[in-house]
Amino acid sequence: MIPYGLQEITQADVDAVGEVLRSDFLTQGPVVPRFEQTVADYCGASHAIAVNSATSALHIACRALGLGPGDWLWTSPITFVASANCALYCGAQVDFVDIDPRTYNLCPRMLETKLQQAERLCRLPKIVVPVHFSGQPCDMAAIHALGEKYGFKIIEDASHAIGASYHTPDTVKLRTKGPWQSRKSPKTIKIGAGTHSDITVFSFHPVKIITTAEGGMVLTNNRALAEKIALLRSHGITRDPAQMTHESDGPWYYQQIDLGYNYRMTELQAALGVSQMTRLDEYVARRRALAWRYDELLAGLPVTKPWQDLNTHSAWHLYVIRLQLDKIGKTHREVFEDLRAQGIGVNLHYIPIPTQPYYQRMGFKPGDHPEAQRYYAEAISLPMFQTLTNTQQDEVLSALRKAIQA
């Protein structure tokens, strides 16, 4: 079986983890801060806090932004359940903004319409969570502008998108022969830099771009948010005298000043992360090459290839095709099962969250998000990972040709 995603573990990774095992610290040592600094530097963020999963990262990001009962969080229906569950952990409510039919990301136009309606009902969201689906950045400038207008905070769920970037037209003043002139010059922004959001979250689950087995990270440029997130990661306990309610009782002293959790990453995981980070750009480049090759190989077949906004560079976590079922004499399920039977580990990302039984019980109706529903009826994720070979990719294609011929 060729899986849809697979990690790569090198001898250098094994050595890095072995070194930590033989050291004095298995947790709360020097390697977690080193991993945090490595990721922060790579992305151009001021603060990074490593945690034990992206799910934990989303939870404490919401807590740090003050999400609670009576508040709303909006996200995309086409994402992993964790992007929405984080609101429920905080006692807040969730709603969904339908996807753009080309990028499958939360649609900024529909977001605006929904915000106008919500404003009339006095039900504006406190937080919006754009998800960079498959690794392709959302239109962050547009979402950020709406955030300024309607007063919501933004958490980027970048679980798919470490290593991705986008361009934004940035007005710069240029001295030409005459007077000063403004000219639009594009600026490249790495996902995680936080230019258009409050917080960004990464996942290091093995199917993602780089891995720490389980693991996640929270990035922000806001010092107060970073301190709050670090506190919530570790029981709400501080040893910093500046944060205490009164003077320290002695050298043993700490104070619990908030209700936190144990969401810490281990030193072993961080060592794996530091080692994997050295190959991040190489991984994204290989994924991009595989995506372009898929694009060529799929030419002429009755499938819709992943559309790319030219202002973005995807990290290519997923390569999702949509079956043009009117041209294929088979059902979506038949093609999917045929591919699995031929040893191709295809998958489907994702089942629309509002159709999950847990969410149905909250009153979401199947017709609420028509673009997400249409997507779900046609989508298939083809194998995509850095060590996928061209030969394996050719096998995927010949299996797909067989599966879709009538």
82: contact with ligand PLP by CB under 6 A: yes
Nearer to ligand PLP, 35 or 328 (CB): 35
Q: Which of 4, 35, 72, 80 binds ligand PLP (CB under 6 A)?
A: 80
Under rule CB under 6 A, residue 83 binds ligand PLP: yes
**If DSSP states are collapsed to H, E and C, what string results for the chain?**
CECCCCCCCCHHHHHHHHHHHCCCCCECCCHHHHHHHHHHHHHCCCEEEEECCHHHHHHHHHHHCCCCCCCEEEECCCCCCHHHHHHHHCCCEEEECCECCCCCCECHHHHHHHHHHHHHCCCCCCEEECECHHHCCCCHHHHHHHHHHHCCEEEEECCCCCCCEEEEEEEEEEECCCCEEEEEEEEEEECCCCCCCCEEEEECCCCCCCCCCCCEEEEECCHHHHHHHHHHHECCEECCHHHCCCCCCCCCCCEECCCCCECCCEHHHHHHHHHHHCCHHHHHHHHHHHHHHHHHHCCCCCEECCCCCCCEECCCCCEEEEECHHHCCCCHHHHHHHHHHCCECCECCCCCHHHCHHHHCCCCCHHHCHHHHHHHCCEEEECCCCCCCHHHHHHHHHHHHHHHCC
Rule CB under 6 A: is residue 53 a binding residue for ligand PLP?
yes
Nearer to ligand PLP, 131 or 274 (CB): 131
CB of 164 to ligand PLP, least distance (A): 13
Minimum CB distance to ligand PLP, residue 54 (Å): 3
Q: Kindly tell me which residue out of 205, 228, 264, 313 binds ligand PLP, with binding defined by CB under 6 A.
A: 205
Task: Based on the shown chain and the rule CB under 6 A, indicate whether residue 137 belongs to the binding site for ligand PLP.
Answer: no
Minimum distance from CB of 82 to ligand PLP (Å)? 4
Assess 79 for contact with ligand PLP (CB under 6 A). yes
> Least distance (Å) from ligand PLP to the CB of residue 120?
31
The residue range among 155-163, 263-271, 293-301, 383-391 that interacts with ligand PLP, by the rule CB under 6 A, is 155-163
Q: Which of 23-31, 74-82, 251-259, 365-373 is the region at the interface with ligand PLP (rule: CB under 6 A)? A: 74-82
Structure tokens at 388: 């996928």
Residue 216 lies near ligand PLP (rule: CB under 6 A):
yes
160 binding ligand PLP? (CB under 6 A)? yes
Residues 292/377/138/285 CA torsion (nearest 10 deg) = -20
Binding flag, residue 157, ligand PLP (CB under 6 A): yes
Q: What's the closest the beta carbon of residue 184 comes to ligand PLP, in angstroms?
A: 32
- Judged by CB under 6 A, which of 7, 159, 211, 314 binds ligand PLP? 159
Q: Which is nearer to ligand PLP, 202 or 294 (CB)?
A: 202
**CA gap 395, 347 in Å, rounded:** 16
CB of 118 to ligand PLP, least distance (A): 24
Binding segment toward ligand PLP, per CB under 6 A, in 4-12, 105-113, 157-165, 360-368: 157-165
Task: Tell me if 275 contacts ligand PLP by CB under 6 A.
Answer: no
Q: Given the complex with ligand PLP, which of 38 and 53 has the nearer CB atom?
A: 53
Binding region for ligand PLP (CB under 6 A): 53-55, 79-80, 82-83, 131, 157, 159-160, 203, 205, 216
